Amino acid sequence: MKKLLLLLLCVPLIFITCNKEEGSLFSDGCQGECDEWERCINVSMLPSVDMRCRPLLSIYYSGYWNGQLNIVDDLGNSFTEELLNLNPICAKKYIMLPYPLSRSAFYYNNGIYPDTELNYLDLEFTDPISLEFIINDSIYDPFVESIVFYQGTGQIKNTNGSAHAILEFNCEYFFEDHTFSVSFSATR
């Protein structure tokens, strides 16, 4: 009986691992149409297989990021703040990270929802393998309480799956003849 059960479990695996050209019962559904910023994944919630191209970065925006923001000016003054419940938006090569506050925290502090343009920091990914990104974006900065232009780089470091990923970036900006260095590290 155990051998029969083992056989019944193994036979479907043989069919699943066959290539389409070899007569597999399952096709990839994407038919090789995914680009370097997409992955062919099963989107079906049912036992059936429904493979579709989905943004590579989508596994990093389902869930909230929590981290620590550090800003230091060229005089040695510093600002540190915990940023919690940042729920990003994803597009093919971009993650738009609510920054420096989540929409709900901004609303709680100010009684209105933030301007979408100035409340999201655009992370433009340059490499789909290393998950490195650049930042060239105007954003409201809480240290100087003004809109500034961030320039810098960062990376998503995936340690044991997307649920344990670390997002880090370092930027600089200039404000009133001073240079400010920004570092941020967040986990999910």
pLDDT recorded at residue 188? 83
pLDDT greater than 70 at residue 60: yes
Taking residues 113-137, what's their average pLDDT?
Answer: 87
Q: Which helix (H) or strand (E) holds 98?
A: strand 94-98
pTM here is: 0.74
State whether 50 and 86 are in the same domain. Answer: no
Q: How many Å apart are CA 98 and CA 21, to the nearest integer? A: 45
State whether 100 and 115 are in the same domain. Answer: yes
**CATH assignment at residue 172:** 2.40.128
Question: For residue 164, what pLDDT band results from cuts at 50, 70 and 90?
Answer: confident
Indicate the number of domains in the chain: 2
Closest CA to 137 of 120, 155, 125, 156: 120
State whether 49 and 65 are in the same domain. Answer: no
Residue 114's domain comprises 59-187
State whether 50 and 80 are in the same domain. Answer: no
pLDDT greater than 50 at residue 13: no
State whether 68 and 10 are in the same domain. Answer: no
pLDDT recorded at residue 99? 85
Q: How many Å apart are CA 78 and CA 70, to the nearest integer? A: 7
Taking residues 64-70, what's their average pLDDT?
Answer: 91
Measured in whole angstroms, the distance separating CA 66 from the mean position of its chain's CA atoms is 12
Please report the DSSP string for 29-56 in residue order: SSTT---TTEEEEE--SSSS--EEEEEG
Q: How many Å apart are CA 11 and CA 29, to the nearest integer? A: 22
CB neighbours of residue 137 within 10 Å: 21
Q: How many Å apart are CA 49 and CA 42, to the nearest integer? A: 6
pLDDT greater than 50 at residue 44: yes
State whether 115 and 34 are in the same domain. Answer: no
State whether 63 and 147 are in the same domain. Answer: yes
Residue 96's Cβ-side half-sphere holds a number of Cα atoms within 13 Å equal to: 12
State whether 161 and 109 are in the same domain. Answer: yes
State whether 87 and 168 are in the same domain. Answer: yes
